[in-house]
Amino acid sequence: MGRIIGLDFGGMTCGVAISDPLLITAQGIETIRRTHENKLRKTYQRIEYLIDWYEVDRIVVGLPKKLDGSEGDRAEKSRAFAADLERRTGLPVILWDERFSTVSADRVLQEAGTDLNEKNKVIDKLAAVIILQNYLDYLALQKQNA
C-alpha cells in the first residue's frame, strides 16, 4: 500500500500533507498558492507531481462543514475539486470532515508564538496535516477494531 496525500483546499491556496509509508503520521509538505480562485491548472499539475513523487495511492480532501454539519459554498467547491482530482488521477478521493482543522492549526501556531506573517505562510499546510492525521488515526482505529 502506498502513501496518502492530504489536501486543505481553499479559495487561493491548497495545503498539502503526506503520510509516512506506514500510514502512522502526517507531515506537511507545502502550500500551493494561486493568483485566481478558479485557475486550478497549476494546482492540479503540482498535486499530480507530488502524487507520483511520493507514490500516493489515495487522496484525502478536507470537506469544510458548518458547525451544524450542513454544507455551504466552500464544501461544494471542495466536492468539485475532489471529483476533478479523482477523474484526473484515477485514485480514490476521500472527503474528510475538516471542521476545526484551521482553528486547530491557528491555535497551534499561536501557542508556538508564530508571528502573523509566518502564520499566514504555513496555516494551510498545517491544516492539511491535521486533516490527514485525523484520517490516519481513524484508519488505525478501524484496524484495531477489526
116, pLDDT greater than 70 = no
Question: Options 3.30.420.140, 3.90.320.10, 3.90.330.10, 2.60.40.1260; which CATH number does 3-145 get?
Answer: 3.30.420.140
What global pTM score does this model have?
0.89
Region 21-27 average pLDDT: 96
Answer whether 21's CB lies under 8 Å from 146's CB.
no
Structure confidence at residue 23 (pLDDT): 96
Domain ranges across the chain: 3-145
pLDDT top residue among 120 and 45: 45
Structure confidence at residue 61 (pLDDT): 97
In this structure, the strands spanning 56-63 and 93-97 are: parallel
How far is the C-alpha of 6 from the C-alpha of 12, rounded, in Å? 17
Answer whether 132's CB lies under 8 Å from 23's CB.
no
146, pLDDT greater than 90 = no
